[in-house]
Amino acid sequence: LDVARSQRWIAFEPFPMAVLAEAGLAQGTPPVTSAELERCFAMSCHLDDPCWEGASSRMLALHHARAGDTDRALRWMTVARTRAMSKSDTWAAMIGTILLSEAEIRLGAGDTPGADTALRELIGHAARANLDGLLRRGLGLLSSLA
């Protein structure tokens, strides 16, 4: 991200920003604010990049889920799904990751039917796209619902 900014390569900022946000959430110390993520999403839309739009809106969803705002998180997850699938040449792994994150948010909110639906969609998508790691995770979560 620092390199992109130092080179004034603004068009490359959204993806490293989303990765930085995900790393921060995983470590429990988010280095990126909601406003920065919204800027990241807006820039991704301006660039018309469905993968970056999906990544940035997914991170907004996870940011809001961590803050306890499940409704807002799920609205952003819907945006992530829609944006990531808006073109036929999108990154299949991003779509699968979005579906997995949606299922996890729904499980955390007690929405078992919604989680089941997202997991079944993930499993079909992961199987078609040969995303074995996501397929295993989706099957594992789905079996825990039974």
Tens-binned pLDDT, residue by residue, of the chain (146 aa): 888 889 988 888 888 888 889 899 889 887 788 898 999 999 999 999 898 899 999 999 999 999 999 999 999 999 999 999 888 766 899 999 999 999 999 999 999 999 999 999 999 999 999 999 999 999 999 999 98
pLDDT number for residue 14: 87
pLDDT number for residue 91: 83
Beta strand residue intervals within 31-96, DSSP E: none
Structure tokens, 34: 């909601």
pLDDT number for residue 89: 63
Contact 115, 145 (CB under 8 A): yes
pLDDT number for residue 8: 87
pLDDT number for residue 33: 85
C-alpha span between 1 and 9 (Å, rounded): 9
- Local structure of 9: helix, strand or coil: coil
- Local structure of 8: helix, strand or coil: coil
pLDDT number for residue 118: 97
> Which of 8, 57, 10 is closest to 34 using CA atoms?
57
Contact 74, 106 (CB under 8 A): yes
